[in-house]
Structure 1
Amino acid sequence: MAQASNAPAELPTEEELGRAGLKLAVEGHVARITISRPERRNAMTGRTWRTLAHIGHALPEDVRIVVLSGEGDTFSAGIDLQMFTPEGVDGEKSMVAGILEGTSTDQDVEDYVEELQQGFLWLRRPDLVTVAAVRGHAIGAGFQLALSCDIRILGDDAKFTMKEPALGLVPDLTGTKPLVDIVGVHRAIEICLTARRVEAAEARELGLAELVVPADELPGAVDDVVAALLATNPEAATATKALLQQAARNTLEEQAAAERRAQVGRLRALASALGAQQ
């Protein structure tokens, strides 16, 4: 019987990235992912999200920071609406063809959406800090991609819109929970069901942006944040992110216990480092 290979997964090739409308640059501890379909206002397809999941699975272990941005002055116009036509996009699977043909069961559709969600879920990994650098429109899936990141840095021209309900759909790419966690259920209902634009200044007031800067200063602001994140001990950063992620669902007593357990590991690591110096 053949044994499973322990070799690390390989990152997508340039050709695969190009077909998915993505660019990827990995430099040391930082991976930069750019949504690159400017002819479609950086609209995304199922292939985009499957390739994002591939990137997340295959990133080198020493990558600590992931920066997501859009090419040009738009983050992303959301899903490419041609995905809702029987023909789909460039031979890619249509979102509705199987339903129209009567060949897709409800479970088939759920499984397909679950596969696409993997392109968003990995951005929450405790061992990574993910940063969305947003210029211009972040609509629907683009808004949800930004919501999947730990930190959102906006140019002052940024605009968030949750467009799915206006199209007869629901936001299904893991964006509803972070939106409610950040702005509360009532404001989330208003944002989603009116499909209005949330511009950069309001996004900062609502907590949807950690920082808003002039659009031409966005790259420099992102680089400053990345440098500050890299200056933090990586193991402590991972442990702290994991603690913060569970805080909302824990009672005070549960969170205090989680802090104690995490600190035991950190103190042992510090003691080990001190012992090695003696």
Structure 2
Amino acid sequence: MSAADTDGWVRTRRDGAVLTVTLDRADQLNAQTPATWTALAGVGASLDPDVRVVVVRGEGRAFSAGLDRSLFSADPATGGGLGELGRLPAEEAQERIRAYQAGFRWLRSPGIVSVAAVQGHAIGAGAQLALACDLRILADDAQLRLPETTLGLVPDLTGTSTLMELVGYSRAMEICLTGRAVKAAEAQALGLANVVVPVAELDATVADLVAALTAPPVAASRATAALVRSAVRNDPATQDAAERAAQVLRLQELVSRS
């Protein structure tokens, strides 16, 4: 890894309770490297507790075209990447991938709601980054692909679980195994996109959504987000209990303020 990519081409901007995380490598369609995932994990690890919304976006005409092609080199001297990873002992390789996954999984951390603003290609790691977010706003030129299986690999940056939650078992199986492109209109129909807008309206639509997300009282917003997340895996009785407990806390806080 060269000195030029030690920041992973990730930049951040804070505006009050909103943190914008931008993949800033437009000349390479925001192709990702392990340094990108390390940088993303670092953002999550240092997240200010006052941040309520995280917006993830890509600079230029693509969200992210996926892995930097140099990572497919089998020769560590010419880029290392997957070849180097494949030579490691299995436990060491898995621990390294675990660290990469941390760059994606934090986007569903308690206390924040994450929004992916997606234009153009979101391929492989790019698609998985968009899927890692709670919400997705797609430009009408966007398309998502998970081509890992067609390359002899598997999606390993949290994409299988997040895709499954969004589209269900059979559709997730088909999208992953075929590696086909899911264009914006289909993404909206499947539930992968919350809304699809013209490219020129992407920024304004994201801004409107962020304003709506930050409007409710922070404690109520965070408690509700936690309930929605837990509902994905809880059985009804467990989820009902979680709702009761959360509501009692909200009521107690309201009473204490009156």
> Normalized against structure 2, the TM-score is what?
0.94
Contact 1:17 1:51 in 2 (8 A): no
Distance change (3 Å), C-alpha of 1:199 and 1:99 = closer
Aligned-pair distance for 1:18?
6.9
Counterpart residue number, 2:50: 62
Structure showing greater Rg: 1
Question: Which secondary structure state, in structure 2, belongs to the residue aligned with residue 131 of structure 1?
Answer: strand
Aligned-pair distance for 1:215?
0.7
Q: Please tell me the root mean square deviation across aligned C-alpha atoms, in Å.
A: 1.8
Distance change (3 Å), C-alpha of 1:34 and 1:152 = same
CA distance in 2, matches of 1:129, 1:51: 19
Query: Which deviations, in whole Å up to 9, do the C-alpha atoms of 1:166-187 show, x marking residues without a partner?
Result: 1110000001011112111111
Counterpart residue number, 1:94: 81
Counterpart residue number, 2:197: 213
Unaligned 5+ segments in structure 2 are none
132, 150, 155: which one pairs with 2:139? 155
Aligned-pair distance for 1:87?
5.1
2:13 aligned with 1:29, yes or no?
Answer: no
CA distance in 2, matches of 1:187, 1:98: 30
2:172 aligned with 1:188, yes or no?
Answer: yes
CA distance in 1, matches of 2:219, 2:134: 17
> Normalized against structure 1, the TM-score is what?
0.88
Question: Which secondary structure state, in structure 2, belongs to the residue aligned with residue 69 of structure 1?
Answer: strand
CA distance in 2, matches of 1:191, 1:72: 26
Counterpart residue number, 1:115: 99
- Count matched residues: 256
Query: Which deviations, in whole Å up to 9, do the C-alpha atoms of 1:115-158 show, x marking residues without a partner?
Result: 10000010011200100000000001111111110110000000
Question: Which secondary structure state, in structure 2, belongs to the residue aligned with residue 123 of structure 1?
Answer: helix
Task: Letter of the 1:272 partner, please give it.
Answer: S
The alignment-based identity, stated in percent, is: 48
Distance change (3 Å), C-alpha of 1:97 and 1:268 = same
CA distance in 1, matches of 2:39, 2:77: 15
Task: Letter of the 2:115 partner, please give it.
Answer: V
Unaligned 5+ segments in structure 1 are 1-14
Aligned-pair distance for 1:108?
0.9
